[in-house]
Structure 1
Amino acid sequence: MDFKVDEDWEEWTPEKGSFLHHMAAGSAAGVVEHVSIFPIDTIKTHMQCQRCPVNSTVLRMNAFQTAKKLIAEDGPLRLFRGVSTMLGASLPAHALYFSVFEACKKSFGADSAELTPFQSGAAGVIATISHDFIMTPMDVIKQRLQLGYYAGVLHCMKTMIRQEGFRGLYISFPTTFFMNLPYSMIMVSTNESIKKVLNPSGDINVGAYIFSGAVAGAVAGALTNPLDVAKTRLQTQMLSLEEPTRVRPCAQNPKGISLNKPPSCQIQSSAPHIMLQAEKRMPFQYRGLLDAMFQIYKQEGIKAFFRGVGPRVCVHAPSVAVSWTTFEVLKNVLAGEDH
């Protein structure tokens, strides 16, 4: 039986496939985005976790020094540690994000050829809220794995829930929410506006998609970096301020990775396996977004809020370009196949 869609593809009903198109295109966009820029994101996370008091003479490592150190310790794949969290979470999160975004665009009248930065930005904000409910816990786990802690995703999640409760998985959600509101507003409105100027016809134009996405991601990423620093600190605050302990390699832990070392735990080698001493739950260093920003400013100065801004821009410029280009191309291709 032939199935054809004779109406506009933006209008979704159960009898038509545009909603599924947005989900499929969004899922693919999310996977491509996160995997392609993951090494840069790992470097950014390490830079933002460096603690350098205002009067300290210790020089923090830049992006190249951080990358060199990580690769020297464990090889190039060290930069991809934790990437599985993004593969699992980005599929449903981005499918939901782009589906909600397209529905809101139509409802707000942002799908016309005219410039509609406020309507587009509002659609992006609503889509971001739904996206963050899924991504926040996995982002917490991702950053802890990037820093070299825990044996894997499940080990990290179980340990966090046991030691910190479910609150540990969502402790940065308010910060993520307040960061992503301006980020999404800036990124989406900039992306949509530039895209309409460069490609008023609405036809597939990869060059326009890449350029508009790159500019939008760079601008939004730079302006929201201070909030991202606070979010990273909140998500990793239960970890030791020192480097993860390198334990003796063995059959169960061939690379000698620190399985878990928050301030409350110590790790010792006991052949032929690694043993964890008794765990003791410790209080959080930061009580929330405002407290984190106050402590960072008081202890490390205003410069601390711009740590990792270079890698963050290098993350968001290509990630937005790749993600939105993938989405726009697949969306139009899938829509064309139904006509």
Structure 2
Amino acid sequence: MAALDEDWEEWTPEKGSFVHHMLAGSAAGVAEHVSIFPIDTVKTHMQCQRCPVNGKPVKLTATQTARQLVAEEGPLRLFRGVSTMLGASLPAHAVYFSVFEAAKKALGADTNTITPMASGSAGVIATVCHDLIMTPMDVIKQRLQLGYYNGVADCFKTVVMKHEGLRALYISFPTTLLMNLPYSMIMVSANETFKKILNPSGEMNVSAYIASGAAAGALAGALTNPLDVAKTRLQTQSMMMTEEASCPSRTRCAQLQTRGVSITVPPSCSINGRPGVERAEPVLRRQYAGLMDALIQIKAQEGFAGFFRGVYPRLLVHAPSVAVSWTTFEVLKKTLDRMSEDD
């Protein structure tokens, strides 16, 4: 961060690069999240689907999942929670790309001579700063995608104020870092390598940016999918109901379970849905205690195939998202730099 401070102090209107990185990064974040949000919604649902009868995973394809969601509430169902990501992506991506460029400078290399390892290290540093901003909003976004709450305010009030506390917004942060750090290392290193191969001159080349970004995003996304499944489960887990809970209706159970909620129904509840014995307020506990517990449960209940649930939508998310975000960033950065030089 010292390098970032120095870059800010050295910035002048004539130079412009630091502010250009922030502006280009913000635009890249908005373009990325809006363009791939429907696919991300499908991926989230695929990783959390449960059978309404026995709570076991449901194996729906991406197309079937998308059709089911659209049938519920129309095409806009695929965009539920997008406002949350837009609000977070502006500062998060501005920080990410600014820190990334500053880190590359601190490592003593420019875009033409930096090695894949050095660029990957710069990506890791930028990712930590990015995830500190994005993780809480990603938790809210995924819960909205699954249809748990009426909006951002309702989600925050219910999750933080009533039941789970602030810890819920960062419960997946270690998992997010564990996934995003290798993801960023792979993606940035691959992207820089592919750019050098496809565009050795270093001049603006949109087709090279798109191709290298898509390939890098797909490669990194596939290799880190198991950790993404665990992260999604941690972020979207509801609270399992113990025997002290009031009896939920069969209809409500079915609705929650199809959205990824695991419910242990108290013995007082009848199997045919007739009212059970009313009890005190629900006593709640988390389904997953943490990353290792989530990995163990997924392996025990679903086998190794469970770690690759949603892998195809994930590829469809990360290939275009990296292509869009990095192409937008590179084009805007070079355009703004040229405008400053002309002035």
Q: When the two structures are superposed, what TM-score results if normalisation uses the length of structure 1?
A: 0.84
- Give the secondary-structure state (helix, strand or coil) at the position aligned to 2:300: helix
Q: Structure 1 residues 201, 173: closer, same or farther in 2, change over 3 A?
A: same
Shift of 1:264: 10
1:291 and 1:245, CA in 2 relative to 1: closer, same or farther beyond 3 A? closer
1:244, distance to aligned residue in structure 2 (A): 3.6
Instruction: State yes or no: 1:34 paired with 2:36.
Output: no
- Out of 297, 305, 318, the residue aligned to residue 299 of structure 2 is 297
- Cα distance, 1:278 vs structure 2: 8.3
Q: 1:193 to 1:11 in 2, by over 3 A?
A: farther
User: Residue 158 of structure 1 corresponds to which residue in structure 2?
Assistant: 157
Over 3 Å counting, the alpha-carbon distance change for 1:23 and 1:58 in structure 2 is closer
SS in 2 for 1:31: helix
Q: 1:30–1:323: 8 Å Cα contact kept in structure 2?
A: yes
Q: Which residue of 1 aligns with 2:88?
A: 89
Q: Aligned residues, how many? A: 304
- C-alpha offsets along residues 225-246 of structure 1, whole Å, 9 cap, x if unaligned? 0000000000011167955469
Alpha-carbon distance in 2 for matches of 1:338, 1:113: 21
- Give, in whole Å, the separation in 1 of the partners of 2:324 and 2:335: 16
Q: SS state of the match for residue 288, structure 2? A: coil
| Cα shift readout 1:157-208 (whole Å, capped 9, x = no counterpart) | 1111121000000000000000001100000000011101211222110000
1:300 and 1:109 map into 2 onto residues whose CA distance is: 47
Q: Distance in 2 between matches of 1:71 and 1:103?
A: 43
Amino acid at match of 1:221: G
Matched residue, 1:194: 194
Distance in 2 of aligned mates of 1:161 and 1:150? 13
The worse-fitting range, judged by mean Cα deviation, of 211-220 and 102-111 is: 102-111
Counterpart of 1:283 in 2: which secondary structure?
strand
**Aligned twin of 2:178:** 178
CA contact under 8 A between 2:187 and 2:216: conserved in structure 1? yes
CA contact (8 A) 1:90 1:135 kept: yes
Alpha-carbon contact 2:11-2:17 (below 8 Å) kept? no
Deviation of 1:210 after TM superposition, in Å, equals 0.1
Gaps of 5+ in 2: 1-5, 242-252, 266-278
Residue 76 of structure 2: aligned partner: 77
Task: Quote how far apart the aligned CAs of 1:116 are.
Answer: 0.8
| Cα drift, residue 107 of structure 1 | 1.5
Which residue of 2 is the match for residue 270 of structure 1? none
What is the deviation of 1:66? 0.2
| Secondary structure, counterpart of 1:338 in structure 2 | helix
Which whole-Å CA distance do the structure 1 matches of 2:235 and 2:68 have between them? 23
Q: What is the CA–CA distance in structure 1 between the aligned matches of 2:56 and 2:124, rounded to whole Å? A: 41
Q: Kindly, what percent of the aligned residue pairs are identical? A: 68
Q: 1:280-312 deviations in whole A, cap 9, x for unaligned? A: 451111111111101110111110000000000
CA-to-partner distance for each residue in 1:215-266, whole Å, 9 max, x for gaps?
A: 00000000000000000000011167955469xxxxxxxxxxx9xx89599x
1:321 corresponding residue in structure 2: 323
Question: How far apart in 2 are the matches of 1:245 and 1:170?
Answer: 23
Q: Which runs of 5+ in 1 are unaligned?
A: 1-9, 247-257, 266-276
Distance in 1 of aligned mates of 2:221 and 2:126: 18
The answer (yes or no) to whether the contact 1:110–1:120 under 8 Å persists in 2 is no
Deviation track 1:1-44 (CA, whole Å, cap 9, x = no partner) reads xxxxxxxxx96613242111000000000000000000000000
The amino acid of 1:201's aligned partner reads: S
Q: Distance in 1 between matches of 2:286 and 2:56?
A: 27
Aligned to 2:110: 111
Change (3 A) 1:320 1:140: same
In the alignment, does 2:141 pair up with 1:139?
A: no
Counterpart of 2:316, as a letter, is C
- Where does residue 272 of structure 2 map in the other structure? none
In structure 2, the partner of 1:14 is 11
Pairing partner for 2:313 from 287, 311, 314 = 311
Do the aligned residues in 2 keep the contact of 1:150 with 1:156 (CA within 8 Å)?
Answer: yes
C-alpha change, 1:31 and 1:291, in structure 2 (3 Å) is same
Alpha-carbon distance in 2 for matches of 1:168, 1:280: 18
> Could you say what secondary structure the match of 1:96 adopts?
helix
CA contact (8 A) 1:145 1:152 kept: yes
Separation in structure 2 between the aligned mates of residue 278 and residue 89 of structure 1, nearest angstrom: 38
Match of 2:48 in 1: 49
Give the whole-Å Cα distance in 2 for the aligned partners of 1:287 and 1:330: 43
